[in-house]
Amino acid sequence: MQKKSAIPDQEPQCSVDFAFQRIGGKYKGRIIFHLDLGITRYGALRRSIVGVTPKMLTQALRELEADGLITRHVFAEVPPRVEYALSEAGAELIPFIRLLRDWGEKQMEKQGKPSLSKLGLLPHILEEAHEETV
């Protein structure tokens, strides 16, 4: 089976289009965001990204990999360990993702939605990121 990227056979019509073809979809933004937070293992991502199913997570990760935004490192261990990391191109999206997150937080507050990062939820997530193999 060949590696399949998210990209339809359609040529991007401009650079914005090009970018959205790669980071569009329901989970890719959040995946990049979490990788940046230091959450790198498949299982950790699965637990952090609320609502994602194994199928969709794997699919999104494969596409990001095929598009050169992340790398995948398999450790020959048991039980298996796979770590994902942002590639150089992927890392360059970080400022962008941060802007987006800031914008989102601001808008959520304006709409009276409590911003999650103010509720002590992030610390719990970050804990996981820094857990040693227990």
Partner DNA sequence: CAATAATAGTTTCTTTTGGGTAGCTAGCTT
Partner DNA sequence: AAGCTAGCTACCCAAAAGAAACTATTATTG
Choose, by CB under 8 A, the member of 85, 107, 114, 131 that binds a second copy.
107
- Asked if 41 interacts with a second copy (CB under 8 A), we say no
- Asked if 105 interacts with a second copy (CB under 8 A), we say yes
Residues 6+ apart with CB under 8 A from 115: 105, 108, 109
Residues touching DNA, count (CB under 7 A) = 27
58 binds, among DNA, a second copy, none (CB under 5 to 8 A by kind): DNA
Choose, by CB under 7 A, the member of 19, 38, 54, 107 that binds DNA.
54
CB closer to a second copy out of 33 and 41: 33
Which two three-digit tokens encode residue 134?
């227990």
**Residue numbers 75-94 binding a second copy by CB under 8 A:** 89, 92-93
Backbone phi, psi, residue 74, to 5°:
-100, 125
Choose, by CB under 7 A, the member of 52, 70, 86, 125 that binds DNA.
52
Q: Where are the alpha helices (DSSP H) in the chain?
A: 15-23, 28-37, 42-48, 54-66, 88-91, 94-110, 121-130
Q: Smallest distance from the beta carbon of 50 to a second copy, in angstroms?
A: 4
Helices 28-37 + 94-110 axis angle, to 10: 110
Helices 54-66 + 28-37 axis angle, to 10: 80
